Each structure stands twice: as C-alpha cells, then as structure tokens.
Structure 1
Amino acid sequence: MNKQLKVLFIGTYVPKECGIATFTADLLNSVSWGYNDIHCEVIALNDPSETHNYPDEVVFQIQRDRIEDYYRAADYINQSDIDIVCLQHEFGLFWGNAGDYIFALLSGINKPVISTMHTVIREPEPEYRVSTEKLIRYSEKLIVMSQTAVDMLKDVYKAPADKIELIFHGVPDYPFDTCDKYKKMLNLKGSPLVLTFGLLSPNKGIESMLDALPEVVSQYPDLVYLILGATHPMIKKNFGEAYREYLKNKVSELGLEKNVVFHDKFVEKEELCKYILASDIYVSPYLSKEQIVSGALTYAIGMGKAIISTPYWYAQEMLADNRGLLVDFGDTNGFRDSLLHLIESPEECDNMRKKAYDFGRKMTWKNVGKQYNTVFTKALKSYSAYSSTSNRFSFLPNELPEVKLDYLKLLTDDVGIIQHSNLGVPARHHGYSTDDVGRALVALTKLIDSQKKAEELWKLITTYMSFLEHAQTETGHFHNFMSYKREFLDEKGSEDTLGRAIYGLGHVVSCPYLSRNMRTLAHTLISKAMPEMKKLSYPRAKAYTMCGLYEILRTDVDVDEFEPVFNSRRDAVKPIDSLASKDDFESIFISHADSLVELYEANHKEDWDWFEPIVTYSNAKLSEALLLAYDYTKDRTYRKVGLATLDFLTEIQWKGDFFDVVGNDGWYSYNGEKPIFDQQPIEAGYLTQAYISAYEIVRDRKYLELAKYAFEYFLGRNRLQAVMYDYSTGAVCDGLNRDGMNCNQGAESVICFLMALTSLNKHMKKAFSTTLLQSSTSGELDDGALEKRKSLLSANQAE
C-alpha cells in the first residue's frame, strides 16, 4: 500500500470482560502486527452507566442504549481520516429492536464497512431477518467463521456470494505440548483434567456432564472436571447466581465434591491459554444447535485438545474428520462413554489432538490478520463512492415541489388555523394560535404575484386577518391561544406572539395586490401595537418584528394611502387616533437592530459567534433580521454580525451533505453538547429564508446553495433520510425524534415549509444549476454533461 491504512474497529473492547471484547482486541493486534503501514483505532460499546479504563486506541465510546451516541459516532467517523470500518456484529451488543440501533451509525457513514458476523440465524424472527438484511445491505463485505454461516447467508438471506468471506475465528499460536508443565504452573490436579470454560449461563449444558461423571470417577477417581469462568454479566444481573448454585447443588447430590472444581472468575487471555494447555480433555456441552461460532471451542482446537462436544453447527464443522467426538444434546450416557473412550484409548486420543492442532494452524491470529487485511484491500478497491452513503440523498428530486395549499386549507376553518393534528387529522382540542396565523400571512402574501393570485387567496387571508383583529388586546398586544370554543386562554401571548403577528401584518401592508381596506386594517393593527413593540426585550420577538417592519420600510408604503379608510372607521380601532408613520417604524426597527448587535457583542467569543450563550429555537430569524437591517440602512455592522451569526449556524449544523439542526432536547449551550433530537422543521424553514435573504443582499452564491440544501431537509436531506413532506396532501411532519419521524402534521410545520418554498422559488433555476455544477466536479458527469451545465450556469448568471 502506498499510504498508511487506517482501520476502525467497532465492538466491545478490553478490559470489558466479554468474549467479543477479547476477540476485537486480538483481531486488532493481528491486523496491525508487523505492519507499520496499518493504523488501528476502536469505538467501544459500553453498557449503561459502565466505565472502563480503555487503552489509547479507543477513540470514541458508545453507551449502547443511547441512540444519540450511534449518530455521534457516525459523525466522528465521517470527520476522521479512517479508511475502513470493521464492525463486530452480534445482535445483543446493540440496543433497539434486534439490535437495530447500529443502523443509526451505519446508515450515516461514508466509509466502507466490513462486518464480522458472530451470529447468523437459520430461522429468524421477522425483526432479526430485517436486521440481518439491513446489515448485508450496509456492508461492503461480510466475514463469517464457518461454512455453515456462509451457506445460511446465501440460502436464507440471499446475500450476494461475492460479499461473503470465510475467515476462521483466530487462535493463539502455541506449540503442540503435553499438559504436565502447565498443570504444575497453575497448581492444578486431575488425571485426567477435564475443562469447560467461558462465561457461565444455562445454555452451557454443564449439568449433562455432571450427570455423566459418577460412573467415570468410580473407575478413575483422580479425574477433575474444572468449570472455569465467571457468570455471564446479563445472567447475573437478571438472575443472580441461580445457575451456578444449581450446579453446585447437583455436585453435592452426586457426591462429586472432590472431582468438580469451580473457578468463578473471568480470566485474561494469557492465563486462559495456560488453563487450556493444562487440560487433557475439553468439553463443550452446549444445549443449542444454533451456535454458529464458539471462541472457546476454537481455542481448544488450536491448542490441540481432545474434544467432546454436542453437535451444534460450529462444532459439527470444526470437529469433522475425527478432530473430536460429538455427543447428542443432553445425552448423559454419550458424555460418559466418550470420556471413558478417550481415557482408555490414549493413542487414538493423541491422534485426535494432532488432527485438531494441525487444523488449527490455519486459524492462528497471524494468519487471520493477513486474511482480514486482504479483505480490507479488496473492499477498498471495490468500494464505490457513488453507491455509498456519501450519495445517500440521491433520491431527492431535481426540482422543487409545486406550491400546494390543500393541507393548509384543511387545517383552516372559519375561525383560524387549528394548531395541531393527530396523524394528519386536525386535532380540534388544541384550538388555534396567533403564532401560526401571523406566519401563515407571511407565507400567503409571498405567494401573491398578481391580482389573480390575490383573489385566489382572498378567503384565507381574510380569515387570518379576522383572527388577528379579534386577538388584539386593548393595549395593542395579542392573545395567542384560543380554544375550539372560541375562547382565548391567555390574557396576552408572549413577546414572540406579538412579533409573529407583526411579521405577518407587515407582509399584508406591503402586498400591493391586496385591497386597500385589507392593507389599512393591517396597518391599523400594527399602529395599535406600537407601544408594545417598543417594550420588547426578547431577541426573537425583536427579530420577528423587524422582519415585519422591513416589509413596510423597503416598499416605502405611503401612510397617506390608508388615512381615508382609517378615518372612516377610527371608532373601531380605539384607543389610537392616527396611523404610525414611516419614522415610527424606522425608529423601532433600528432600535431593535442595535439591541441585537449589543447582545452579540456581549455574548460572542472566538469560537461562539452567537447572540446568546445558548442556541435555542427560531435561530436563523435573528441573523436574517440583521441582514435586513443592513439592506435597509447600509450599516455594515449589521451585515457583519448578520453574516457571522448565520455562518455560525451553518458551521454547527451543516454536516457536509445535510443539515443537522439543533434539537430542542436541551438546546445547545456554549461548551455543551449539541442535542441531536428533537429536531423541528421550523429551523430548516427559517434557515432557507435567511440564506435566501443573504444571497439577495450580499450576492454570495454559497448562500443560495445552502438555501437549497436547507429546504431539502423537508424532502429527506436530513439525518434520518426521512421525507417529511407529503407530496399528495402538502402536509409536513412535525419533527425528527430519536425514535424516528414525528408523523403528526401541525400548522407550524406546513407554514414554515411554504415560507421556505416561496423564498427559494424565486431563484429555483439558479439554485439547482449551481448545485448540479458542483456535483459534476466530483466525477459524476462526463465532459459533455459538465460543459452543458457550465453553459446553463453562465446563462443563469447573465440572467
């Protein structure tokens, strides 16, 4: 290889006391042993609340019941220079349904995955079949340790033959030796010394051996049966030492106290090998046929032991050709006769040992490491970036969806917009909110580009304006929540509620295709809210208000146009006597812009370009408000802070091919951990709008491309690759949770989608051609197609 190969192993790892942890450590050492050009690292899996003092090669840890850790591990892998991932797969290692938490990691990485399968099930339950099939799909290569497993993958799961590699379980390389020196070393007795080792659990079948011993020890009283191993941690956690006590009681009942020895401890590999080498006979009395691999049996073979085993799948294959004796499950007489045969036929026993030892030479860790390295090299050569997860968003459409208002209309009745739904059915008991109505007015007015369009949307806009007029309090503030019984549930809403109402009303005032009466009413409601607008203290409320006032200021609305209508109905809008002027709006607009800059100056740090020490909700609206302030005033301070904070939001949320918006499960504090869930679609919608505003104001094309990517969050460009937009109804799902997509479809989600869509629609052709040109430079297009797209881009730029 021309450069150092970097391999990342995922599995349990030493010093954790478990067979796969030992296997992972041995495999890592065998892969890297003697190779200066191979570097290995580990992501270790931990049980809940478990901590270990891991060696330096462990670079990341997953608490296996926390799905967020699997996602973060995927992020770590993508950001690293790892070349290949080697996963140790056993269903019980991972949390979820049939261990499906691991797919949160595998579905999100852009590296080739080699999966070592420690379990293959011949007759799987549905969830295990699904899990296995997904593992096959996400793996570049599947490594199994027996021909039986190869056949099952092909026959049961239809795995492609060229994906499957047979590499035996590794064993330490010890010379073929007699047992005596190791017995002395460990101070062990027994002639013969019979051994069973491994984590103790009821499926070991040790009681079958105990029942076989009385007749044997009556003839060979010096026989010792050593049962070596601690109780399996999960068995101990759930059932204590019940199985061990059962075995001890059986020993007493059978009068075998002098012949049966329990060593209740987890032994490290070096000590374990000495125990195996000290034994004369190894017994593997498992009760389950569906055992596809056994590290214990493999070690016994590799060290040349005489072996008696039940005929589970792995044993049948490994002990073929007279490399051991097979006894039926639970067959006490079979174990008795086999023990006597081996004791009384030393020459045949020795031949059996040699056959096992010779077969084990191909399984030494040195040879296993070479075979894994060969598979790694083959996988890297065949790995295709196009078919990998780096292009996992290839399902995205090549154009924006058409504007579809069906679902918004479904949520709207003659009062307003019903806030929430239950799986797409309006949930009336949640009632209505000013928050949704204000933003809905923004979405609808941005759709109006002609008188005809205004007439189409007249009924919806009238209903929403009626709601806001009714929701405004005597002081000019607004109630927020109204029950389905048409009763307001609060004295007044939050400051954000006021800001969102002004946001929508500002768009109505500035829309030239709406009637003068409608625009006058909107202007009147804003004017009445002026005292409350001046008192705002929360940054997002100020940002919403600025976005609404900007629409009036940028279009230079003439207040004189509304005076005649206002004067004719002045009695209906007490306590105000006149409409607010442009100077009034400008004063509040600039005051709020300055306060946002002051907030930024007070809180930003070298590595934290934000207004507050925490990133919470509706974040991009703050940046967008300052960019609009720059556009109106040309004060470059607003531009500097607006772009700095917008770029910061990009930095903490853009993962290279999708947006991972800040979740509201704890928010994102300075020096804290960014929560992955629960992600709200409003953040993607506001990012889209903010990027479009940035593009329109500073003309940097990167913001146009980011706007497209942010919008595609709704279409599946997100962490879960979940399509949140329903093309048939126009509904949008409410968020991404650790358990998947929230399939409720509330008003906020669809409104923010429409706001984003209408913002991006103005630049659709440019946005898509820009992205396509960029993708073409990665080698996905031939030269002719590339030139065609360059020409298209040039035409768009000229346009």
Structure 2
Amino acid sequence: MTATTGHPTMSAGRRWVTAPAPSFAHLSRLSDDTGLFEHARHAIVRREHGYCTDDVARGLVVISREPEPTDEVLRLAERYLAFLTHAQDAGGAFRNRLGHDRRWADDPGLGDWWGRALWGLGTAAARSPAAWIREEALVAFTRGATRRSPAPHAMAFAGLGAAEVLRRHPGHAVAAALLADAATTIGVPGADQRWPWPRQQLTYASPALAEVVIAASQLRHGGPALDEGLRMLTWLRDVQLREGRLSVVPAGGWRRGAVRLHHDQQPIEVAAFADACATAATVTGDADWETGVRQAVGWFLGDNDVGTPMWDPATGGGYDGLTPHGPNLNQGAESTLALISTLQHARRWS
C-alpha cells in the first residue's frame, strides 16, 4: 500500500496530503475459506475469536465498491457472500457469531448484524461486477428485507443496503418499504439547535443514521424531507470538528448535557462520517460535503487529535483505536475495513 498510487486530498483545508490507494492485503490476511476473522494482535490473526456476520458484511460492502477488483479480491466477495447466506435463516434473520470450530454461538436475530448483512447484500446486489454475485445477493437481501428491527442502528444499516438496491433497481418495492421504515425508526431532528439529534445520546456509527434519512428523502413516495437528514449531519459534523480537524465521538458515546470526551476514538466513526458526507455531496452537489470526506481521510493519515497515522503502511491494516497516547496497534477487521472504505472515497474526491 503505497502513496505513489494514491490520490492527493486536502485535510481540514490546511494542507495537502497524499491518500494511499486502498489495499486488500491485510483483509486477505484476516480471511480464510470460511470468512473473515474478527480480531488480530497487531497484524497477526487471532483465530480463537472466530468470525462475525457484522465484519463479513462490512467486508462485502467494501469489496463490492471496488470498480475493478482483482480475481483474489473477487474470491473474497464469494466467500463473504457464502458466509452471509449460511448465516441467514429461512425467515430472513441472521446469526452473528461463528467459532473457529465452524459452530454458531447464537440463534438467528435482528440485531445490528442483521442490518449490516442487508447492507452488504444490498451493496453486492447493486455494485458487484460479477452477475452471479449480484443475483444471489439480491435473493438473500430480499428475504431479509421483509423483517424489521426495533433498533434504530440496525434499521439504519439495513436502510443503507436498501438504498443501494434502489439505485440499481428503482422499482424494488421491498427495498423502498425498508428504507422508508428505517427513516421512520430513526426519527426526525428536534427543534433545539444545540441538540437536534433525534435521541439524547450519540453512541456509535451515528452518521449512518443521518445518511439513511438523506437517502430516504430521495424516495418518490413516503420519504422524509432532505433538510431533516442534512440538519442531522451538519450538526454532527460541527460538533466533531476540533480546531479544523475531525475529532469523532469516542467509543463511550456522548450524552446530552454531559462532558464531551475525546478518547478512545474508533475508525468506524470516521468511516461512517466519510460515507454520510459522500452521500450528502452526491445528493446535493454541495462541495462543502466533499471537505468532510477529505477530513475523514486526513484522520487516518495523521490529521487527528494525537497527530499520528492510524494505519500501518507495511501491512495495509487499520489501527483499532485512537487513545490519548497514540494508536491501539492491533489491526482487526473492523478498523481495517473502515480504513479501506474511507480511502475508497478519496478516488472520487481528490
């Protein structure tokens, strides 16, 4: 993974840095013929922790976004798709945790992993260059999209998959209904400009909720007003900028009225922010949202609160978290996928 094949991007409007091209080397290192291992100690796989649908689904998202994947990367997509279809039951729910012994540790459910599975399947159904992957992913997506979760985050992730399907299949009624219900579950921003978020606490992957409301505004019928999603994302952007650089809400979250902490910051928050800004830029044509994408790229390259890169150029892996003393040097699946996902945006907004 080298800067010579990357794309120049401006971080926080202050300096030009070079965004490296996304590398799938560490993702391949974390994968086997079953799926994607969840954890690593530094860059070494920790097989004893097994696999999870959450990460396999994220893996299918980033691979499906590649316009010209190599044969090796496309084979990863096939394995991830096979994992997800194996995790799904006849009613559309998904199991989440599979041990290295190939035994499921849980029953099918509708938690975040269900939503992320639909996100991965929807992205594959819409974007994969392989017809057989698109077809099988759409079958599994449609089965799962008939279900509903009471959890806003699960519905948000599922809504992202529905939005992908609708971009390729505008008449897909099941996807349209899911996206509309996802936006309804998320709710509308409040009138208080100091805290317009629909809930009293920011927890994790918050930009995904705003992104779904923005995407749902494009529905022909039943979609929310575009301004609702943009208000949510604008406020989220403003409260996560610190001296012009991105400083995302940490793993512990932030409750209204409480002191805002700044560590430990997670790469998933940065990737979700990049995704939401990219969607906002596409929908509105407003170049200000492109700056948000560049700030997210800059966070990984060192334009963050500690001033340190959040990835390992030698392995292509993303570091697991930003602490007050520097990065957590473990390179698990979630953080590596967040790195890849964010760098994929740099190809368009460079």
- TM-score under structure 1 normalisation? 0.41
2:43 is aligned, of 405, 412, 424, to 424
Match of 1:529, as an amino acid?
G
Matches within 5 A, 1:480-519: 480-493=96-109, 495-511=111-127, 513-515=129-131, 517-519=132-134
Change (3 A) 1:636 1:483: closer
- Tell me the secondary structure at the aligned position of residue 327 of structure 2: strand
Question: Pick from 301, 326, 329: which aligns with 1:715?
Answer: 301
Show CA shifts across 1:619-670 (max 9, x none): 10011111111234387843111111111111211013211111123x2111
Distance 1:726 1:404 in 2: 11
CA 1:647–1:467 in 2, change beyond 3 Å: closer, same or farther? Answer: same
Q: Is 1:396–1:716's contact at 8 Å kept on the other side of the alignment?
A: no
User: What secondary structure does 1:447 align onto?
Assistant: coil
State the alpha-carbon separation in 1 of the partners of residues 191 and 38 from structure 2: 35
Residue 654 in structure 1 maps to residue 241 in structure 2: yes
Query: How far, CA to CA, are the matches of 1:754 and 1:634 in structure 2?
Result: 34
2:175 is aligned, of 564, 567, 585, to 585
Seen in structure 2, the aligned counterparts of structure 1 residues 720 and 429 have a Cα distance that, compared at 3 Å, is same
Q: 1:505 is aligned with what amino acid?
A: L
Q: Is this contact kept in 2: 1:454–1:513, CA < 8 A?
A: no
- How far, CA to CA, are the matches of 1:543 and 1:403 in structure 2? 25
Report the alpha carbon displacement of residue 757 of structure 1 after superposing the two structures with TM. 1.6
Percent identity at matched positions? 27
1:27-46 alignment runs, 5 A limit: none
1:542 to 146, 155, 161: 155
Report the Cα offset of residue 613 of structure 1. Answer: 0.3
Q: What is the alpha-carbon distance in structure 1 between the residues aligned to residue 35 and residue 66 of structure 2?
A: 19
Structure 1 CA distance for aligned equivalents of residues 143 and 221 of structure 2: 29
User: 1:500, 1:394 → 2: CA distance?
Assistant: 33
Q: Which residue of 2 aligns with 1:469?
A: 85
Q: Does 1:521 align with 2:108?
A: no
SS at match of 1:713: helix
Q: In the alignment, which residue of structure 2 is the partner of 1:595?
A: 185
Give deviations 1:357-398, integer Å, cap 9, x for gaps: xxxxxxxxxxxxxxxxxxxxxxxxxxxxxxxxxxx9999763
Moved more, 656-665 or 745-754: 656-665
2:250 counterpart of 1:663: yes
Q: In terms of Rg, which structure is larger?
A: 1
**For residues 424-446 of structure 1, what are the alpha-carbon distances to aligned partners after superposition, in whole Å with 9 as ceiling and x for unaligned?**
11111111010011111110111
Select the residue among 274, 278, 297 that pairs with 1:688.
274
Secondary structure at the counterpart of residue 626 of structure 1: helix
Query: How far is the alpha carbon of 1:600 from its aligned partner?
Result: 2.6
Is 1:593–1:638's contact at 8 Å kept on the other side of the alignment? Answer: no
Q: 65, 89, 95: which is aligned to 1:479?
A: 95
The 1:637/1:478 distance shift into structure 2, 3 A limit, reads closer
Whether the aligned pair in 2 keeps the contact of 1:393 and 1:716 (CA below 8 Å) is no
Q: 1:638 aligns with which of 211, 215, 225?
A: 225
8 Å CA contact 1:685, 1:756 repeated in 2: yes
Which secondary structure does the structure 2 equivalent of 1:399 belong to?
Answer: strand
Contact map agreement 2:37 2:45 (CA 8 A) in 1: yes
Question: Which residues of 2 match residues 257-268 of structure 1 at below 5 A?
Answer: none
Tell me which amino acid in the other structure corresponds to 2:269. Answer: E
Match of 2:168 among 548, 552, 555: 555
Cα distance between partner residues in 2 of 1:729 and 1:742: 15
2:271–2:338 contact (8 Å) kept in structure 1: yes
> Is 1:758 paired with 2:344?
yes
Amino acid of the residue matched to residue 736 of structure 1?
L
Partner SS state of residue 486, structure 1? coil
Judged with a 3 Å threshold, the aligned counterparts in structure 2 of structure 1 residues 511 and 636 are, in CA distance, closer, same or farther, namely closer
SS state at 2:322 partner: strand
The residue type paired with residue 694 of structure 1 is A
Structure 1: gaps of 5 or more residues: 1-391, 558-580, 765-799
* 1:180-219 to 2 correspondences below 5 Å: none
- Amino acid aligned to 2:160: C
d(CA) in 1 for partners of 2:335 and 2:118?
20
**SS of match in other structure, 1:741:** strand
Deviation for aligned residue 1:763: 2.2
Q: What pairs with 1:170-319 in structure 2 (closer than 5 Å)?
A: none
Query: CA offset at residue 706 of structure 1?
Result: 1.7
Amino acid at match of 2:152: P
Q: What is the letter of the counterpart of residue 197 of structure 2?
A: W
Residue type of the partner of 2:120? G
Against the structure 1 CA distance between its residues 640 and 394, is the aligned structure 2 distance closer, same or farther, given a 3 Å change threshold?
A: closer
Letter in 2 for 1:495: G
**Which residue, 33, 48, 53 being the options, matches 1:414?**
33
Code of the aligned partner of 1:528: R
Q: Which runs of 5+ in 2 are unaligned?
A: 1-10
Post-superposition CA distance 1:122-180 (Å, at most 9, x none):
xxxxxxxxxxxxxxxxxxxxxxxxxxxxxxxxxxxxxxxxxxxxxxxxxxxxxxxxxxx
What are the equivalent positions in structure 2 for 1:374-413 lying under 5 Å apart? 398-413=17-32
Matches of 2:15 and 2:340 in 1, distance apart? 18
| TM-fit CA distance, 1:604 | 5.4
The code of the aligned residue for 1:530 comes to A
User: Closer, same or farther in 2 for the Cα pair 1:637/1:467, shift >3 Å?
Assistant: closer
* Larger relative contact order (Cα-Cα within 8 Å, sequence gap ≥ 6): 2
Answering whether residue 332 of structure 2 is matched by residue 742 of structure 1, we say no
8 Å CA contact 2:250, 2:266 repeated in 1: yes
Name the CA shift for 1:466/1:396 in 2 (closer, same or farther; >3 Å).
Answer: farther
The structure-2 alpha-carbon separation of the partners of 1:637 and 1:588, relative to structure 1 and needing over 3 Å to count, comes to closer
Pairs within 5 Å for 1:313-352:
none
| RMSD (Å) for aligned C-alpha atoms | 2.2
Residue 492 (structure 1) shift: 2.7
Aligned length: 340
On the 8 A contact 1:615/1:662 being kept in 2, the answer is yes
Partner-residue secondary structure (3-state), 1:736: strand
- One-letter amino acid of the counterpart of residue 62, structure 2: A
TM (norm. structure 2) is: 0.91
Q: Give, in whole Å, the separation in 1 of the partners of 2:114 and 2:15.
A: 37
Summarize deviations over 1:221-271 as a string: whole Å, max 9, x none: xxxxxxxxxxxxxxxxxxxxxxxxxxxxxxxxxxxxxxxxxxxxxxxxxxx
Equivalent residues of 1:604, 1:610 under 8 A apart: no
**1 CA distance for matches of 2:246 and 2:34?**
36
